[in-house]
Amino acid sequence: LERLQHNKLPDELTTPTPLERASLAEQGQTLQQALSQLSDNQRQVLEMNFYQEISQADIAQQLGIPLGTVKSNARRGLIKLRELLGDAVG
């Protein structure tokens, strides 16, 4: 009860089971395959934004490209990922 009072779940509720770990690994592999089908620009923007948690404005500055280009690449990449992952899941 004391652990729950500190907004922390007991370890048995947060530690994934072997089946959950296998499922997460499979999902990660599916995502990596989908990312590999994006253009280099789309993949780079999405990876910087999601994995490195860099804002789109900072990505534009780091890559030396207009913010609109970053936003377009992100949008097109997300649309393509949705299509690819929808096919993989569905």
Which residues, 6+ apart, have CB-to-CB distance to 63 below 8 Å? 44, 70
What are the pLDDT digits (tens) for 26-71?
Answer: 777 888 899 999 999 999 999 999 989 999 999 999 999 999 999 9
What is the band of 88 on the pLDDT scale with cuts at 50, 70, 90? low
Residue 82 to residues 31, 38, 90, Cα–Cα distance (Å)? 10, 11, 11
DSSP tag of 15: S
Two structure tokens written together for 58: 């900072």
pLDDT value of residue 87: 65
Write down the residue that tokens 């860099």 correspond to. 54
